[in-house]
C-alpha cells in the first residue's frame, strides 16, 4: 500500500500536467491581447501564469533560439501549432512526471518506467502525426487550388490576384499557406522564394513542380494558365496512382501495426494485471538485458517493416 503523501503528490502532479496542457492549448488560440484591443484596460495575471511564463522564459533563454535536437522548430509550423519550443518542452516535462507517478501508483516500477518513456514519446508522436495529416490534406487540396488559380489567370487576373482568390476559396491548410505566400510577397519577399519555401515546409513535391513552372514561365514567357493546367493533370494522375498503391499495401500496413504494437501492449497489460510477475523484468540485470534486446529487435523490425510498406512510385 502506498502512503497517502505519495498518492496526494501523484494526484497533484497529474492535475498540474493536465492544467499545463490545457493552458498551452488555450494560449495558442489567443488573438490580440486585451490591453492592445482596449487601451487602459489592466489584465489580471494569475500566479500559475506568472510561474509558467517565467519557466518558459528561462527555457527560451537556455535554448537561445536554437532548434531542438529531436524536433525542429519548423515541425510546429508544419503541424499548424502556434506554440514555442519552450512550451513544448514544459509539456513534455509535465507529462513525463505525471506519467511516471501515475504508472508507479497503478502498476509499480515497471509501468512507471513505461509511462515515463511513453508520455514524451506520445507528445512527439502527436506533433508528427498532426504534421503528416496536415501535409496530406494540403496535397489533397492542391489540384483544386491549382485549377482555381489557372481559371483566374484565364479570366485575366494577375498571378498574385489569382493566388489570393485561390486562398479565399480554399480550406485550411491550403488557405493558410497561400495567405502566407501573399503576405510575404506584400512585405517585399520574392514570390518564387515564398512558393519554394512553402513547398519545402509542406514537403510537397507537387507544389514544388507548380513553383518551378511559375519560375520557368517568368524566365521564358508563355501561357501560365495552360502550364499550370498541364502540371495539375500530372498531379492528379500521380495522386490516382498513389491511392492505388495505398489500397494495395493496406494489408501490409495493418500487419506491421499489429506486429509492432503487440509486444508493447502485452507488456503494459502484464504490468497492470500482475505487477509482481512483471517486476522480474525490472528487478534483475537479466530482465533489463531482455528488455534492451527486445527494444533493439523491435526497433530494427519497425524500421524494416516501414521500408516494406512504403513503396516508391
Per-chain mean pLDDT for the chain: 77
Between residues 53 and 270, which one has the greater pLDDT? Answer: 270
Of 44-58, 153-167, 275-289, give the lowest mean pLDDT range: 44-58
DSSP labels, 195-239: HHHHHHHTT-HHHHHHHHHHHHHHHH---HHHHHHHHHHHHHHHH
CATH number at 134-248: 1.20.81.30
Cβ-proximal residues to 238 (8 Å cutoff; 6+ apart), any chain: 206, 313
pLDDT reading at 271 higher than 50: yes
Of 193-202, 229-238, 242-251, 258-267, give the lowest mean pLDDT range: 242-251
Query: Average pLDDT for residues 278-307, to the nearest whole number?
Result: 84
Tens of pLDDT, residue by residue over 174-199, are 999 999 999 999 998 899 999 999 99
Contact 139, 239 (CB under 8 A): yes
Query: Average pLDDT for residues 201-215, to the nearest whole number?
Result: 89
Q: What is the pLDDT of residue 73?
A: 62
Between residues 36 and 90, which one has the greater pLDDT? Answer: 90
Domain layout of the chain by residue ranges: 134-248, 249-313
> How far apart are alpha carbons 112 and 99 in whole angstroms?
7
Query: Average pLDDT for residues 238-261, to the nearest whole number?
Result: 84
Between residues 51 and 269, which one has the greater pLDDT? Answer: 269
Tens of pLDDT, residue by residue over 69-127, are 455 667 777 777 777 766 777 777 777 788 778 777 776 676 677 778 877 888 888 88
Q: What is the pLDDT of residue 123?
A: 82
- The three cell numbers of residue 219 are 524566365
Q: What is the pLDDT of residue 55?
A: 53
Amino acid at each position: 500500500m502506498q502512503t497517502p503523501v505519495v498518492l496526494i503528490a501523484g494526484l497533484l502532479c497529474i492535475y498540474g500536467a493536465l492544467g499545463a496542457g490545457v493552458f498551452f492549448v488555450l494560449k495558442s488560440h489567443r488573438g490580440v491581447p486585451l490591453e492592445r484591443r482596449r487601451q487602459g484596460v489592466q489584465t489580471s495575471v494569475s500566479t500559475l501564469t506568472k510561474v509558467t511564463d517565467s519557466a518558459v522564459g528561462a527555457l527560451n533563454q537556455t535554448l537561445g533560439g536554437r532548434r531542438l535536437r529531436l524536433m525542429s522548430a519548423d515541425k510546429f509550423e508544419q503541424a499548424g501549432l502556434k506554440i514555442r519550443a519552450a512550451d513544448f518542452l514544459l509539456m513534455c516535462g509535465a507529462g513525463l512526471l505525471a506519467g511516471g507517478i501515475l504508472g508507479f501508483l497503478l502498476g509499480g516500477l515497471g509501468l512507471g518506467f513505461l509511462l515515463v518513456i511513453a508520455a514524451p514519446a506520445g507528445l512527439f508522436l502527436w506533433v508528427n502525426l498532426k504534421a503528416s495529416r496536415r501535409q496530406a490534406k494540403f496535397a489533397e487540396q492542391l489540384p483544386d487550388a491549382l485549377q482555381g488559380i489557372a481559371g483566374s489567370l484565364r479570366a485575366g487576373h494577375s498571378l498574385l490576384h489569382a493566388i489570393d482568390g485561390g486562398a479565399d476559396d480554399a480550406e485550411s491548410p491550403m488557405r493558410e499557406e497561400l495567405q502566407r505566400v501573399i503576405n510575404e510577397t506584400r512585405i517585399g519577399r520574392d514570390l518564387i522564394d515564398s512558393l519554394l519555401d512553402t513547398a519545402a515546409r509542406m514537403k510537397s513535391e507537387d507544389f514544388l513542380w507548380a513553383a518551378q513552372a511559375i519560375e520557368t514561365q517568368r524566365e521564358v514567357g508563355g501561357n501560365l494558365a495552360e502550364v499550370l493546367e498541364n502540371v495539375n493533370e500530372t498531379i492528379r494522375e500521380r495522386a490516382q496512382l498513389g491511392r492505388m498503391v495505398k489500397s494495395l499495401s493496406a494489408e501490409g500496413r495493418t500487419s506491421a501495426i499489429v506486429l509492432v504494437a503487440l509486444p508493447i501492449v502485452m507488456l503494459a497489460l502484464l504490468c497492470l494485471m500482475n505487477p509482481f510477475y512483471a517486476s522480474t523484468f525490472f528487478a534483475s540485470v537479466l530482465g533489463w538485458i531482455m528488455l534492451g534486446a527486445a527494444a533493439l529487435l523491435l526497433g530494427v523490425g519497425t524500421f524494416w517493416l516501414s521500408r516494406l510498406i512504403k513503396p516508391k512510385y
